[in-house]
Homo-oligomer: A and B are copies of this chain.
Amino acid sequence: MALMNGNSVDAVADHGGSLGRASALFPQAPLPWIDLSTGINPHSYPLFDLPATAFSRLPEPVRARELAAVAAAAYGAPSAANLVPAPGTQILLPRVASLVKPGRALVLGPTYAEHARACAIAGHTVAEVHDFDALFGADIAVVVNPNNPDGRVVSRRDLLELADKMRSKGGLLVVDEAFMDVGPQDERMDGDVDRGGLVVLRSFGKFFGLAGVRLGFAIAAEPLASRLDAELGPWAVAGPALEYGIKALGDEAWQKAMRNTLNEDAGRLDALFAGFGVEVLGGTSLFRFLRLPDAAGLFAALGQSGILIRNFNWDETALRIGLPGNEGEWRRLEKSLAAWAAKRASGTTEVRP
Contacts and interface: CB of A to CB of B under 8 A. Distances in A.
Interface of A: 9-10, 12, 15, 17-21, 35, 38, 40, 44, 47, 52-62, 87-88, 90-91, 93-94, 114, 117-118, 121, 205, 209-214, 226-227, 229-241, 244
A52 B233 CA distance: 29
Nearest to A214: B238
B38 A58 contact: yes
B232 A62 contact: no
Nearest to A60: B20
B233 A114 contact: yes
A42 to B, nearest CB: 8
A222 to B, nearest CB: 11
Contacts of A244: 55
B44 A121 contact: no
A240 B213 contact: yes
B54 A233 contact: no
Contacts of A118: 233
A91 B10 contact: no
Nearest to A17: B58
Contacts of A117: 230, 233
Contact of A88 (B54, B227, B235): B235
Q: What are the 7 A-B residue pairs with the smallest beta carbon separation, nearest first? A: A212-B239, A20-B62, A87-B87, A214-B238, A17-B58, A44-B56, A90-B233
A53 B214 contact: no
Given A58-B40, A240-B240, A241-B238, A10 B226 contact: yes
Contacts of A57: 17, 35, 40, 211-212
